[in-house]
Chains A and B, each alone.
Chain A
Amino acid sequence: MNKDAEIAMHLDHSLSSRGAVIPLEVSNPVFTLDDVSIFYGDYEAIRNVTLPIGKNEITAFIGPSGCGKSTLLRSFNRMNDLILGSHLKGVVAYHGTDIYGPDVDPIEVRRKVGMVFQKPNVFPKSIYENVAYGPKVNGVKGNLDDVVEECLTRAALWGEVKDDLKKSAYALSGGQQQRLVIARCIAVKPEVILMDEPCASLDPIATAKIEDLMVELANDYTIVIVTHNMQQAARVSDRTAFFTAELDENEVRHGRLIEFGRTRELFSSPGDSRTEDYISGRFG
């Protein structure tokens, strides 16, 4: 992982007009969000988020339920498009290109930005077919044995399943299924992997394996993870964004970005009292 020194990080401690402590820059951003608000119909789920995502870093989104962090995550690969009535204001730029721009195909976005879901959603097919599915739908022809082996190896699952590739993916345990989903995701060769509470349904041992895997994968991929587990954010992430839901002047709840910074700094010396309250367990 890219560590400390060369990454210039200037926290704007003077508190911006929106009340959020936001960074001025990340040296090599993959994504840059500029004043992003996401709506479901008339309801504004999350408001005015400005945030960079650094390359080959793990960025964690933390915050209480209903603060819009999953909604925000799903905007990175346009999965919110699939929800009727959802729309987005502001700019989500991927290497400088607005992914909501008129010439952008959401399918191409999803090839570059993969996603791992809360509940392991393996396909009702064999282990082999699960991994081979992504390359196949993306037009890769021919023998995929090498791709399958490579991806399962990267996902630290090969040793456990190499003799059972033809077996149904449903025969695997929850933790194995989640690693299979990660293998399936990297088979498409994305640059970014989004993870929406990937360990929410797993036991502590399976969780530890996924966390090790995330740190390992961050050498080659940029990872954004939504988690309810603050220890997890502290253990694996390089940067953390803290969100919360607040009432606005019309007494309507909206998700807001409160603070974003290096994980170590955010946890040891939070710049906002709400962050401090949350990470010390006083609410949420």
Chain B
Amino acid sequence: MENQLAGRGTLLRDRVFMWLLFLSLAIGVLTLAILLIYVTVKGWPRLDIRLFTNMPSVRDAENAGAQSAITGTIWVISFTALIALPTGVLAALHLEEFAKPGSRFQRFIEINIQNLAAVPSIVYGILGLAVFARALALGQSVITASLTLALLVLPVIIISTREALRAVPRNIRDGSLALGATEWQTAYRQTLPAAIPGIATGTILALSRAIGEAAPLLLLGAVSFITFNPDGVLSGYTTLPIQIFNWTKESREEFQVLAAATIVVLLLLLLAMNFVAIWIRNRTQKRW
């Protein structure tokens, strides 16, 4: 008896398409892998404790480290988070829970936020230079950098917070309101807590973008050598991307090695932040 269920075999077209998909994936993954391996191999001789204990130098490559850049990055990114997180979350809460949907004002704000997310970071640098460094006379300080980077990540935080709030089911809000809760009680006791996982992941990803930014900080004047750790928000600073930039400008090979080692530190920091974001997301799976 003839087998009526025999397939037609995998078509050539299907196989080509599958390989195309795989190739696209491979380009991304391989590039990252090669980059990681290259910098790790290159930076390996200097990937040691000196990087964390010593201050930068452009003369003494043997004893140069990146301590001030590491502490500077932590200072700058902490204040960026401190400024951008509450502002962004409250702005998103207003847009999502309190603003009249579809009003002209809301549409205007919405379009602006989406456009702001696409503005090149160098433009934020110009803004920071004009407003914070010059007009507010904050100069070349940690707070100038934090304020500028906060503006840079604010649209991303607002957009991801809105997504997270929108994912909270309508019937949770209805349940709360039907018990005689006010809209404000409903927002801060139900909607906001339920959205925290989404807000946390969005914020961490936004901050990991900020941590790797060099362009706006260069414009803010963070090019000078800093061989001390920040001791306050008005203190001078340097950050890892700036330090990497400075060393790659040097002609001596030892500094290229130093730069590669510092890149590894920066990449590890970024991977760690992304890992925390994934961990938060998995730990607090959607429960509805």
Chain A residues proximal to chain B, CB less than 8 Å: 77, 79, 82, 84, 107-108, 110-111, 114-115, 117, 119, 121-124, 133-134, 137-138, 168, 170, 181, 184-185, 188
Interface string of B95-108 (1 = CB under 8 A from A): 00000011000000
Contact present for B189 and A133 (CB under 8 Å): yes
Q: How far is the CA of A124 from the CA of B196 in the complex (A)?
A: 12
Q: How far is the CA of A184 from the CA of B180 in the complex (A)?
A: 12
Q: B19 on the interface (CB 8 Å rule)?
A: no
- 3 pairs of A and B residues whose beta carbons are closest in the complex: A111-B180, A121-B171, A115-B178
Tell whether A114 pairs with B179 under 8 Å between CB atoms, given A84-B101, A124-B288, A137-B185: yes
Contact present for B171 and A114 (CB under 8 Å): no
Q: How far is the CA of A134 from the CA of B176 in the complex (A)?
A: 8
Q: How far is the CA of A84 from the CA of B176 in the complex (A)?
A: 18
With a CB–CB cut-off of 8 A, which chain B residues contact A124? 172, 193-194, 287-288
Contact present for A110 and B180 (CB under 8 Å): yes
Q: How large is the interface on B (under 10, 10 to 19, 20 to 34, 35 or more residues)?
A: 20 to 34
Q: In chain A, what residue has the closest Cβ to B186?
A: A137
A5 to chain B, nearest CB (A): 35
Partner of B175, one of A107, A111, A123: A123
Q: In chain B, what residue has the closest Cβ to A106?
A: B177
B50 to chain A, nearest CB (A): 49
Q: In chain A, what residue has the closest Cβ to B193?
A: A124
**Can you name 24 A-B residue pairings with CB atoms under 8 Å?**
A79-B177, A82-B174, A84-B101, A107-B181, A108-B180, A110-B179, A110-B180, A111-B180, A114-B179, A121-B169, A121-B171, A122-B175, A123-B175, A123-B190, A133-B179, A133-B181, A133-B189, A134-B181, A137-B182, A137-B185, A137-B189, A170-B288, A184-B179, A185-B179
With a CB–CB cut-off of 8 A, which chain A residues contact B181? 107, 133-134, 137
A75 to chain B, nearest CB (A): 13
With a CB–CB cut-off of 8 A, which chain A residues contact B102? 84
Known A-B contacts: A79-B177, A121-B171. Give 13 more (CB < 8 A): A84-B102, A107-B181, A110-B177, A110-B178, A110-B180, A114-B178, A114-B179, A119-B171, A121-B175, A122-B175, A134-B180, A138-B180, A184-B179
- Which B245-277 residues sit within 8 Å CB-CB of chain A? none
- Which B34-50 residues sit within 8 Å CB-CB of chain A? none
Q: How far is the CA of A184 from the CA of B178 in the complex (A)?
A: 11
B8 to chain A, nearest CB (A): 43
Interface string of B148-177 (1 = CB under 8 A from A): 000000000000000000000101101111
With a CB–CB cut-off of 8 A, which chain B residues contact A115? 174, 178
B89 to chain A, nearest CB (A): 18
With a CB–CB cut-off of 8 A, which chain A residues contact B177? 79, 82, 110
B135 to chain A, nearest CB (A): 42
With a CB–CB cut-off of 8 A, which chain B residues contact A117? 171, 174-175, 178
